[in-house]
Structures are given as structure tokens and as C-alpha cells.
Structure 1
Amino acid sequence: MKVYELLQELNPHKLNDLCKAHRCLVNGLIDTAGKLRTKNLGIVKGSEVAHIAPGGNMVKGLLGDLFDYIKNENDLILIKSCVFHYELEFIHPFIDGNGRMGRLWQTLILIQQYPALEYLPAETLIKNKQEEYYNVLAISDKSGNSTPFIEFMLAIILEALKRVLPSQNKSVTKDDRISIFRDKMKKEDFGRKEYLKNFKNISQATASRDLN
């Protein structure tokens, strides 16, 4: 399943969907794909223990609290997405693939309110700043405060926006839209409803003309 297709199916407020996404992303890579860890876990870098995750018997309860926060708190979505990303890394609920899941779930949380953020190259920007990414995680861990990580991720989002926004000033033609959407849907059938979900800035009449 493609990441784009996966994002359309997932609910950011459901723990079961987190496990489903993990199963899809790491299936065949590890034996415990989609399963929360039940054993204790330490993360070693070089000859040092970089992080000791909460005990395996605490994982489900901590995730429950984290999902309650995302669902019920009134913090800005931007902040909540960063907090979830950091806390998921801290809890380390899976044996492997936690970084990918943190980044995926932050995107999923953001696009509930800001659909355009789905297309920001945040994953690429983090990859280019991987050392800084892990350093700021360690700083937040040692200080017991997620603020350094939140600030880092907000800066990443801002940089991504600065890269993308200039290209948005170019006019997009009907053929451009059709080509973009066909590429996303591959061989899947689609109609005006799916098309409008993707291009929220066009009218129903424009969508109909495009598809005709």
C-alpha cells in the first residue's frame, strides 16, 4: 500500500490505526510488525546507551494517554503534532520503525486541519538534518522537556513551506491537475468527489470540466 493511500484510511485518534500503519510500513522487515512491544528496550549508539524506553508493561497505557491528549486537548494542531512525534519516539512502542511512525503520524495529524501540508518535503528535510534531529531528541530526553524538539520541528515545517510556496504561485492548468491526480491514484478509479478532496481550491464546476 502506498503512503498516500495509507494516509487516506487512517484515523490519527486511533491506536489500532497506528498499529495498522506500522504493520504496512515494516511488513517483512521485522517479525513484530504492527505489534506493541512488551519487553524492556534500550537504544544503544556506539558504546553508549542513548535512551532507555519506558518498560514494556507501560507502553499501552502511555499511548492511551498520548492519544487522549491528541483527541481532547485544545493546543494548536502544529504543537500537538510535534508533541505526538516526540512522545512516540520517547515511548518507543515498537521494536523498530518508531522514527518513521513518528514522522508519518505527525503528517497525519497535521493534514486533518491543513491538507496542503501532506505535500511538504518534511521527511526529506529531516533526512538532511538527521544528526541534528537525533541530537535534539537527546536534548529533550535529558531535560525532560519536549520544547527543544518542538522548536526544531516547527523550524523544519517553516523551511518546507518556504521551499514549496514559491512554486504555488505558478498557475496550474487542467492538464497539470489531471496528471498529478492520475499519478497519485495509479490504476484506481476516481470521480469528482475524490478529485475535489485533493484540489480543495477549485469549484465543483471546475472539477466537472476537468474530468469531462
Structure 2
Amino acid sequence: MKPPYIITEKIVALVASISEKIGEINATHLYKPATELRKKNRIKTIQSSLEIEGNTLTEEQITALLENKRVLAPQKDILEVQNAIKVYEQLNTFNPFQLKDLEKAHAILMNGLIDNAGKLRTTNVGIVKGSKVEHISPSGTMVNGLMKELFEYLKKDKDLILIKSCVFHYEFEFIHPFLDGNGRMGRLWQTLILMQQYPVFEYLPVESLIKKKQSDYYNKLSESDKKGNSTPFIEFMLEIISASLDEHLQSQSVTLHTEDRIRLFAAKIGKNKFSRKDYLQSFKNISAPTASRDLKWAVEQDFLTKFGNLRLTEYLFK
């Protein structure tokens, strides 16, 4: 069954704006940031997502953990970060359309933190904020069936993946399929869904903007609960995604050097043979001699194997 939501004018406008920004990012080759920025954004993502759940570690402490340095902090907080680092390192190994992969990711994320990591709950739970019951989750006996329905929607519905990722995020939090770790899993899985169509989301720290608007995030989840549909949450998350893309466009330099172009093209072409013409089609703002210099440099650096001569020359990344 399709989850309830309405495609509003605001959603349509946000999707159009996001699509334009992604187009600009792709055209200027900003979809895969340089190594140092990827690392920085990944740390920001982990720190923000865990801070929303009460973790106390700073970006500096997470950096230290990544470098295998000793950190003075509560053991539980350190373990949460170590688990999050592991799951984000394996992000590309998970299929976002498979429930078993979601369970596998949760098992890594919550390893040593709860007894039933990676297992859907079978008991009843409610979410309490202070002395107030904020949300009554569906009965434990319904969880498995509801999650299977949600994955069917994700796989088969014709709506845009931008919208489906937001719907999945909301429905996942509503179902609350695990005893703990649902917030960080919902945010992780939305990223994974978006990555399938838009590689830029792998290193886009959307969570840092959610953290800044944490009360709005919870308010929109609550508003969607009360309305019985995810429309308010979809609008909120699309605004967050749009703002994240704005930040990315503003912070990135669009000046690409030889090594940047070779790295980007390697990620795009994979293990397929290609010609200078193929390379030029990816970088329309460079001349043929510049393309030749790039490819010559990559051969000299032992990144590329060269076959043939003159017009028949082809290349293959090692």
C-alpha cells in the first residue's frame, strides 16, 4: 500500500529547484569533492547525526578516532562514533531497496549498544519526551509487514526518488522498526537512497543542517503524525536538501586541474576503454591539446594504459 502524502505546489517548486542545482553540480563536476573535503564532510555528517541523538563527541574528537588516536569521552559515545564510521565506510555495499541490507547496516551501527542490533522489534514501544508520550509506534507484531510494504513502495512506486527518499525517512521513523538507533538509521538510509541517482549525496552533510533545525525536524515528524500523512515532513526535508546543495555550490571551487579531471573521469568511466574524444565530451570547457596533456600525464603517472596511435589511440584506467 502506498504511504499517504500529497504533492503540493511547494514540493513541486522545491523538486524543480533541487534538480537545477544538481544539474549545475554535474555540469561543473562538483559531484565528487576532493579527498580532503570528502573526509571533512563525512566527519561532519557523523558528528551531526549522532549529536541529534545526544552524542557528545566533537568533529575534532571524531577526526582523532579516525586517526586511531586516544580520545577521552564516555565509552558509549566513542562506540557510537566507531560504529558510524564503519557503516559509512561500507555505504556503497548496501542496497537501499533491500530490507536485509537495512538490517545489516543497523547491526553494524548499533553493535555493542543494544542486544538486538540488526533485528526488527517484536515488542511494543512508545517515544517519551520528558514526561509526555510523543509518539506511539505500531504494534511489534505489525513491524515486519509494514517494513516489507515500505520497501515495496520504495522499489515500485513511480514518484521521483527525491520525494520517495523523504517519504521513506518519515515512514521509517513512524514505524520505529528497531528498539533503538532509528533516527540515525532513517537519515543514513535517505542518503543511501538519494545516492543511487545523485552521487553528490554520498558526501553532502545534510545532517549538519538537520542538526541546526533539530526542533523543526521533530516538529515536522510530529505534524505529519497528527495529519496522518508525510507531506509536512517531505516539504521540510526538501528544503534541507536544497539548502545543503546551496552550501555545496557556494563552498566549492569550480577550477579543475589535470589531476581533478582525471580523478572525476576515472570515477565516471570505470573499467571501460575510451578515446580522447570521450574525455573531451566530459570536459567541454577544455581544448583538445589540454585533453592530450591530461591523458599524457595520467599515462606517465601510471594511472592509464595507452593502446594504439594517433586517431586510433584508446586508454584504460588501471
Please give the range of the TM-score, normalised by the shorter of the 2 chains: 0.7 to 0.9
Percent identical among aligned pairs is 61
Shift of 1:117: 1.7
Code of the aligned partner of 2:136: I
125-134 or 51-60, larger mean C-alpha shift: 125-134
Shift of 1:207: 9.9
| CA shift in 2, pair 1:99/1:207, >3 Å | farther
Between structure 1 and structure 2, the one with the greater Rg is: 2
Partner SS for 1:54: coil
1:27 is matched with which residue: 79, 102, 111?
111
Task: Say yes or no: does 1:45 pair with 2:129.
Answer: yes
1:131-170, CA deviations, whole angstroms, 9 ceiling, x for partnerless residues? 1111110010011010000000000000000000123443
The equivalent residue for 2:102 is 18
122-131 or 165-174, larger mean C-alpha shift: 165-174
Partner SS for 1:8: helix
Shift of 1:172: 3.4
1:2-27, CA deviations, whole angstroms, 9 ceiling, x for partnerless residues? 34432110001100000000011111
Partner SS for 1:2: helix
Contact 2:137 2:174 in 1 (8 A): yes
Code of the aligned partner of 1:143: K
1:31-64, CA deviations, whole angstroms, 9 ceiling, x for partnerless residues? 1111110000000001110000000000010000
Q: Which runs of 5+ in 1 are unaligned?
A: 182-191
Partner SS for 1:35: coil
Contact 1:125 1:160 in 2 (8 A): yes
The equivalent residue for 2:157 is 73
Partner SS for 1:65: helix
The equivalent residue for 1:164 is 248
Query: How far apart, CA to CA, are the structure 2 residues paired with 1:92 and 1:106?
Result: 15
The aligned runs of 1:1-212 (5 Å cut-off) are 2-174=86-258, 205=295, 208-209=298-299, 212=303
Partner SS for 1:151: helix
| CA shift in 2, pair 1:207/1:87, >3 Å | farther
* Higher relative contact order, chain-length normalized (CA < 8 Å, sep 6+): 2
| CA shift in 2, pair 1:99/1:136, >3 Å | same
1:78-118, CA deviations, whole angstroms, 9 ceiling, x for partnerless residues? 00000000000000000111011111110111010001122
111-120 or 87-96, larger mean C-alpha shift: 111-120
| CA shift in 2, pair 1:64/1:208, >3 Å | farther
TM-score, length basis structure 2: 0.57
Code of the aligned partner of 1:80: K
Code of the aligned partner of 1:109: I
Contact 1:90 1:141 in 2 (8 A): yes
Query: How far apart, CA to CA, are the structure 2 residues paired with 1:136 and 1:15?
Result: 25
| CA shift in 2, pair 1:207/1:16, >3 Å | farther
84-93 or 109-118, larger mean C-alpha shift: 109-118
Shift of 1:121: 1.5
Q: CA RMSD in A?
A: 2.7
TM-score, length basis structure 1: 0.84
- How many residues in Structure 1 have an aligned counterpart in Structure 2? 198
Code of the aligned partner of 2:115: D
